Structure 1
Amino acid sequence: MPIDTAPPPNEAHQELVRALEELHRAAGRPGMRKVSALIDKGDHPALVSHEGVRTALRGLSIPRWETVQSIVAVLAAACVDPPRDPTAEVARFLPLWRAVGEREPRGMKSARELALSQGWGPDDGQWTPEAVLGMMINPFNAIEIDPSLTVPHEPVVSEDEWVQVGVRLIDEHGAELALRALLRTLKGDYLGAEQGSPYGYHYPDQAAVDAHTAFRYGCDRILQRLAVEPNLLQRSVSAMHADETMDREDRIEMLRAESDASLMREIMTVTPESWHELSEEAHHQIFGYLIKEIGPVGRFGLPPDQRFRITWRVPEPLAA
């Protein structure tokens, strides 16, 4: 009997596998032989056996891009509620697959890739590293640009804060990437571009940026607590169910998720070591169990631990 062997730990590979698993679930979990047969019938760059489909979906090997492309296109075409565009899904998976070789999950594009690409990310409301870069590098957010170039507006951050953010970007990603992003922005290809106004500028969706950053920060803090507090998840589930102040729509959404037996098995067996193997739905459900509220209390540009305040369902233990 063959023994499943996984490649060495690679966070980027785990993220690719999670994305494939989520797409497989959205497609109705078709069997491996069916996926292989659909690939064989269609116009796809690779023929993939049912065993090849299985090893790719389970993360037992690092597949070629043509294999991922074929599997993703077939699964996306099988999604009905809601439907998914196979071309858009293939484009979404390319940076995930590329990051496996770079061993950097969802890594920032290189300066050359940014120069050759169009736009700042997908149109599905998800914040990519490039989208955050585009928002932060835009001087519109720091100064009231001359009315001949843009619409009058109030700055979102101070000039000093904008400079500090720029310095951090250069330190983390290099001067060439930051300068190319700035040039693209100044030429009018910027995050949230709109037609019909001078130079097209408008306010960035700060709430969406905050929500994205707060979720990532909250997940990091959840991991820290799970590592040192036994039964934290179980106690938080009980606290959520007993919370009479919880928003009605939020409660309905949490209870609806609890009706998914496979999702709940995934959630209730979570450990810090298995966290990165969980689906996106499981991450959001656990987030809702442990965190009652999270929101910004500090100014834009501060590190997450200074910008956001978390209200836990089970308070953190007092430091010794």
Structure 2
Amino acid sequence: MTPNTPSLLNEAHRELVRALEELHRAAGHPGMRKVSLLIAEGDYPAAVSHEGVRTTLKGLNIPRWETVQSIVAALAAACVDPPRDPTAEVARFLPLWRVVREGEPGGIKSARELALSRGWGTDDGQWTAEAVVGMMINPFNAIEIAPSLAVPHKPLISEDEWVQVGVRLIDENGAEFALRALLRTLKGDYLGAEEGSPFGYHYRDQDAVEMHTAFRYGCDRILQRLATEPNLLQRSISAMHADETMDREDRIEMLRAESDASLMREVMIATPETWQELSEEAHHQIWGYLIKRIEPVGRFGLPPDQRFRITWRIPQPATA
């Protein structure tokens, strides 16, 4: 069925008439002459006779947009309980009227209208043509977007420049190529992915986020081992003291912390059950005893168990 077939136009016209009838009812069913008078007294784009109001509301003709616009704005202004915004109502009726005049494509906003509008749907939760397009084109519904692309950052180019680059890419290589390239990028295969920096951009707090993520991952793994390996903490303390490869500054810091009797009492009662009761200083001290080194081995954005590798002071049992 082509967009301009009579059956589609008739259904579109019926939908427009139903919407006009609902608005007319919400305004209190004013008479045709009353509506014509309201339009005449107001600042509307067209004067509409009472006969013009009648034929439009009854669906007896396909009116000009200025006629529909004036009737809709006047009726919306007459709504009291609850009130309606005439501007919003006119915007709601425009795509309904355009489908009647232009067929199905008329129901979709132009690129400029989409850029100037806010949101995708309507306040009543009804699906619009733009909302359907927005859902279908959103890569979130097809793939898991790489977390590294979601960090706050300063854009390198404007939205208009990005759109123009996309249009040129589609013109030169085709829409399918452009869309598949977009999906591939959003899945994490982008320039700079190995460094975790999209297109060379470095998130200013990326190092801090990495350190926090590594620390939390190490703590989770420590709790897993403490729950299943007897005397692991004591054995790790001995291994730390015997480690001649340990960085001098790190050793000094660990030994200085050991002089704090209160801190060491916390450390020595560490179990998965008491972990949340311990101070952050105790967590760091236990970390230093059990973990010799943690380093990134996977690209930024991967789950911690794929992103980091832990070197333990006491190797994990083979069964683990």
Specify the structure having the higher radius of gyration (Cα): 2
TM-score, with structure 2 as normaliser: 0.42
Higher relative contact order (CA 8 A, sep 6+): 1
TM-score, with structure 1 as normaliser: 0.42
Higher helix share: 2
